[in-house]
Structure 1
Amino acid sequence: MTIDTPTQTVLYTLEQAIKTYRRLCQQNIDRVVDKLTVDQALILIVLDKHPALSQQQIAELVFKDKASLTRIIELLVQKGLLTRGMHSADRRKFELHLTPQGQHTLAQLTDTILLNQRTALAGLSEEELVQFHSTLQKIIANCSTPAPCA
């Protein structure tokens, strides 16, 4: 296959798929919850499943730098979806907890999250999904290992 431009690579197509999926997610979130971004919803989901995670761990899970995560958390606190308090053992850290409103918001999004996943993966067999996941893991491993100098 001859590649004339970067937009003809499989990695460009992968990025296009991710961005298209995020747009779909945002459109569907907007139908259910007012003024909540995909990133904000993702952080609520992570905290609901793993309430003891530090902000650093959350940032790594959602691919955000520390400053971006801090801004998102502040917005979630302002919206009344999260509380932020001092960590009981380490005053340099914060403890984050979903509020009842945050839990209600997540409950509203459950069907939307499943719809987004079903829509994105429609027409793919279980075998194709397993192979796709395996291929993505190989790409991640390749990119995680420094390339030798030419």
Structure 2
Amino acid sequence: MEKLNDIIFYNIDKAIKTYRMYAMKKIREKGYKITTDQWLIIKSILENPKITQQELAKNVFKDNASVTRIIELMVKSNYLNRKVNTTDRRKSVLSVTKEGKEIIEKVQTIILENRKEALEGIDKAELDAMNVTLKKIIQNCS
């Protein structure tokens, strides 16, 4: 029977979770109170201002209830504005506030440092090969 550490998907999941904990620790050490999930949501909205909450959930790999909860916190933290869609009252229109844009800019340097440290000792060819492989796995499972 194979061991957990020999299973590629276990290692992918472990790498992602380890990196997320590392990234959060580094962000908190600098005094910022934004989570990686909040960062992903703000980035997704900035890149696609008309994104729906369902698309947002899919984009950040969360269920709708989790995204709703995260959005509530971000509205309270003044990172997002939420308005009722005038054509469909069941939907909301989300926009990033000035404070939301500022926190993204401030945290961006930390995120780039985190990525650099996490990828230390891995050359471009290895990263390219890994990226191609991961995209193939995604395609196989989609």
- Provide the TM-score with structure 2 as the length reference: 0.91
Alignment of 1:27-46 (within 5 A): 27-46=25-44
Could you tell me which residue of structure 2 aligns to residue 52 of structure 1? 50
Contact 1:32 1:108 in 2 (8 A): no
Of residues 99, 110, 113 in structure 1, which corresponds to 2:111? Answer: 113
Of residues 130, 134, 141 in structure 2, which corresponds to 1:136? Answer: 134
Gapped regions of structure 1 (runs ≥ 5): 145-150
CA distance in 1, matches of 2:52, 2:30: 29
Is 1:22 paired with 2:5?
Answer: no
Q: Give runs of ≥4 in structure 1 deviating > 4 Å.
A: none
User: Per the alignment, in what secondary structure is the counterpart of residue 95 of structure 2?
Assistant: strand
Contact 1:80 1:102 in 2 (8 A): yes
Of residues 100, 103, 107 in structure 2, which corresponds to 1:102? Answer: 100
- How many residues were matched structurally? 142
Structure 1 residue 7: Cα displacement: 4.1
RMSD: 1.5
- Provide the TM-score with structure 1 as the length reference: 0.87
CA distance in 2, matches of 1:86, 1:32: 35
Gapped regions of structure 2 (runs ≥ 5): none
Structure 1 residue 32: Cα displacement: 3.1
Q: Compare CA radii of gyration and give the structure with the larger one.
A: 1
Structure 1 residue 8: Cα displacement: 3.0
Could you tell me which residue of structure 1 aligns to residue 89 of structure 2? 91
Could you tell me which residue of structure 1 aligns to residue 70 of structure 2? 72
Structure 1 residue 101: Cα displacement: 1.1
